[in-house]
Chain A
Amino acid sequence: MNSPLPWGEGVPLPALSPAGAGRVRGFAVTNQNRRARLLTPDSRILNPNSVRSLKIIAAVLAKDLRLEWRNRETLASVCVFGILVVFLFNFAFESGREESLRQLPGLLWVAFAFAGVLCFNRSFALERENACLEGMALAPVDPGLVYLGKMLANLIFLSIAESVIVFAVSLWYNFSFVPSLKWFAAITFLCTLGYVAVGTTFGAVAANLHMREVMLPVLQFPVALPIFIAGIEASTGALKGDPPSSYMSWVKLAAGIAVIFIVLSYLLFEYVLEE
């Protein structure tokens, strides 16, 4: 009998590992082959599952970028909020060179922290509408890949907002970041990566809670605090022009937290998606 659905054969089911279950758990580069491998229990080079995983992450990322391009609510609100924080702090503190070097890292990370809350809340507000997060949970994809796609989108949005905030700070405080730009940018990116790793997870958790706008900072700030401290301390050293070895321990702390949270969130995100 002809299928009542006129668009052909059914979807091929995802290949299961010989163990009969599972998903891609991580990455490794072996010594036997210079090309990077994505290791599955099958350990195949360029595993079709690996390519598919990257496609899923790219699809989620592209979807978020497209949504933001259509409504432009996240970036606009995050940038305006960050600039407002900088503007108000400008009236609170003296802006001589020495005072600026002490205040700016803390000021920046206060602005980044609250801008991030807005960003993560907004990111999952879009998913709450029409229960889209559940829609993604219906698909035969590793929930961790959905997390990675959302995390990358939030990283892009928050990085853009931070660039705008830093530019605003350089204007209002008459402070040039150029001499230490390389290290300052690297530190900020690394700490932002860790913050986004934490914030994306808690944003998804808070999306289903009452008073989510209040609960998100309550949940995520205690966990993200070490990242903020590392960002402030490392940024202070970089902006002063100190040798990198003097603040490298803070950079390593931020990197370690980022890696731990990305891995943990990737593994546990299925519990966030499900009711």
Chain B
Amino acid sequence: MPPDTPPPVRAGLELRNVSKYYGDLAALVGAQLRIGPGESILLYGPNGAGKTTLLRLLATVARPSEGEVLFDGSNVRQHAAAAKAAIGFVSHSTFLYGDLTVRENLEFFGTLFALAEAEKKIAAALEFFTLGKRAHTQVRKLSRGLQQRVSLARALLHEPKFLLLDEPFTGLDAATVATLETLMRQLPAEGRTVVFSTHDFERGAALARRLVALEAGSIRYDGPFEGRSQEPGVRSQ
């Protein structure tokens, strides 16, 4: 399926002919992707398609083997601090210290991100994600779903312009899923971008306006969701 021409976008995040190799394994090959403000993008593909690798490259925690990752038109290395301040990333790993409490983890990341009025923002985040009663509980003692909520709070604390979510619904209860879905719909309206991956195509299609489909490390489709009610690659009956 030939990739559609991506829509013209203002400055944002861009993968320019990016490949990522882990030894002999080509996790991502020749990826071209431009992401602008206010977009809602679903990364879709089977296991091993390269979704997580793509998100990690956008989040700047992985360095491309070939090509460039651009932020606002410049190589992300040249403006690493500005890029990282604009990006929030939720991954399979929570990035949380198990022996620290929920509040201590958020305070630590608040310091790293130089948050103004950090205490107020942390308190608001704890309330938003219904973590108030768990604020002084060590993360290690929380369930997977609660840890995911704390991870979401951590990623959103600094109000990133680009929110990258790798299968964010995993382990969440229905109430938190509803909260997250509401957030994912509202953030693009105020100019923030959400890029997420999920194995639930229907849920993703309901939330996103743009589909990027990957297979075997390559982007097979990049375009609007309009008119696509079925998963890419699924033959109609």
Q: Tell me the A residues contacting B by CB distance below 8 Å.
A: 1, 3-14, 16, 20-21, 23, 52, 55-56, 59, 63, 66-67, 70-71, 126, 129-132, 134-142, 270, 274-275
Please, which residue of chain A has its CB at the minimum distance from the CB of B83? A140
Please, which residue of chain B has its CB at the minimum distance from the CB of A141? B112
Contact A13/B93 with A52-B114, A140-B80, A275-B62 known, Cβ cut-off 8 Å: no
Whether the Cβ atoms of B117 and A5 lie closer than 8 Å is: no
Whether the Cβ atoms of B113 and A63 lie closer than 8 Å is: no
Whether the Cβ atoms of A7 and B125 lie closer than 8 Å is: yes
SS of A interface (majority): loop
Whether the Cβ atoms of B61 and A134 lie closer than 8 Å is: yes
Indicate which residue in A5, A71, A140 contacts B84 across the interface (CB closer than 8 Å): A140
Asked if B159 lies at the interface with its beta carbon under 8 angstroms from chain A, I say yes
Distance between Cα atoms of A66 and B108 in the complex (Å): 11
Asked if B59 lies at the interface with its beta carbon under 8 angstroms from chain A, I say yes
Please, which residue of chain A has its CB at the minimum distance from the CB of B187? A4
Distance between Cα atoms of A21 and B79 in the complex (Å): 6
Given contacts A5-B159, A7-B159, A140-B112, 9 further A-B contacts (CB under 8 A): A5-B183, A6-B128, A8-B121, A14-B85, A16-B81, A63-B108, A131-B93, A138-B61, A270-B80
User: Which B residues are in CB contact (< 8 Å) with A55?
Assistant: 111
Whether the Cβ atoms of A11 and B82 lie closer than 8 Å is: no
Contact A8/B96 with A140-B85, A274-B62, A275-B56 known, Cβ cut-off 8 Å: no
Whether the Cβ atoms of B182 and A132 lie closer than 8 Å is: no
Contact A12/B95 with A3-B159, A59-B108, A63-B108 known, Cβ cut-off 8 Å: no
Distance between Cα atoms of A139 and B100 in the complex (Å): 18
Q: Tell me the B residues contacting A by CB distance below 8 Å.
A: 56, 59-63, 78-87, 89, 91, 93-100, 104, 108-109, 111-117, 120-122, 124-125, 127-128, 138, 154, 156-161, 182-183, 186-187, 189-190
User: Which A residues are in CB contact (< 8 Å) with B80?
Assistant: 140, 270
Contact A12/B114 with A4-B186, A135-B109, A140-B84 known, Cβ cut-off 8 Å: yes
Whether the Cβ atoms of B81 and A131 lie closer than 8 Å is: no
Residue among A8, A56, A140 with the most chain B CB within 10 A?
A140
Whether the Cβ atoms of B78 and A20 lie closer than 8 Å is: yes
15 contacts between A and B (CB under 8 A): A4-B182, A6-B124, A6-B127, A7-B128, A7-B157, A52-B114, A59-B112, A70-B100, A130-B95, A134-B91, A138-B60, A139-B84, A139-B109, A274-B60, A274-B62
Q: State the Cβ distance, B150 to closest chain A Cβ, in Å.
A: 11
Q: State the Cβ distance, A75 to closest chain B Cβ, in Å.
A: 14
Whether the Cβ atoms of B156 and A5 lie closer than 8 Å is: yes
Whether the Cβ atoms of A138 and B87 lie closer than 8 Å is: yes
Contact A130/B82 with A12-B116, A139-B109 known, Cβ cut-off 8 Å: no
User: Which B residues are in CB contact (< 8 Å) with A13?
Assistant: 81-82, 85-86
Whether the Cβ atoms of B124 and A1 lie closer than 8 Å is: no
User: Which A residues are in CB contact (< 8 Å) with B189?
Assistant: 1
User: Which B residues are in CB contact (< 8 Å) with A130?
Assistant: 93-98
Indicate which residue in B85, B89, B154, B182 contacts A11 across the interface (CB closer than 8 Å): B85
User: Which B residues are in CB contact (< 8 Å) with A141?
Assistant: 81, 112
Residue among A7, A11, A13, A141 with the most chain B CB within 10 A?
A7
Residue among B99, B125, B159, B160 with the most chain A CB within 10 A?
B99
Indicate which residue in B56, B86, B100, B138 contacts A63 across the interface (CB closer than 8 Å): B100
User: Which A residues are in CB contact (< 8 Å) with B63?
Assistant: 274-275
Distance between Cα atoms of A9 and B85 in the complex (Å): 13
User: Which A residues are in CB contact (< 8 Å) with B138?
Assistant: 70
Distance between Cα atoms of A131 and B61 in the complex (Å): 11
Q: State the Cβ distance, B222 to closest chain A Cβ, in Å.
A: 24
Distance between Cα atoms of A12 and B124 in the complex (Å): 18
Indicate which residue in A8, A10, A134 contacts B120 across the interface (CB closer than 8 Å): A8
Whether the Cβ atoms of B95 and A132 lie closer than 8 Å is: yes
Distance between Cα atoms of A58 and B92 in the complex (Å): 28
Contact A138/B98 with A5-B156, A14-B114 known, Cβ cut-off 8 Å: no
Distance between Cα atoms of A21 and B203 in the complex (Å): 40
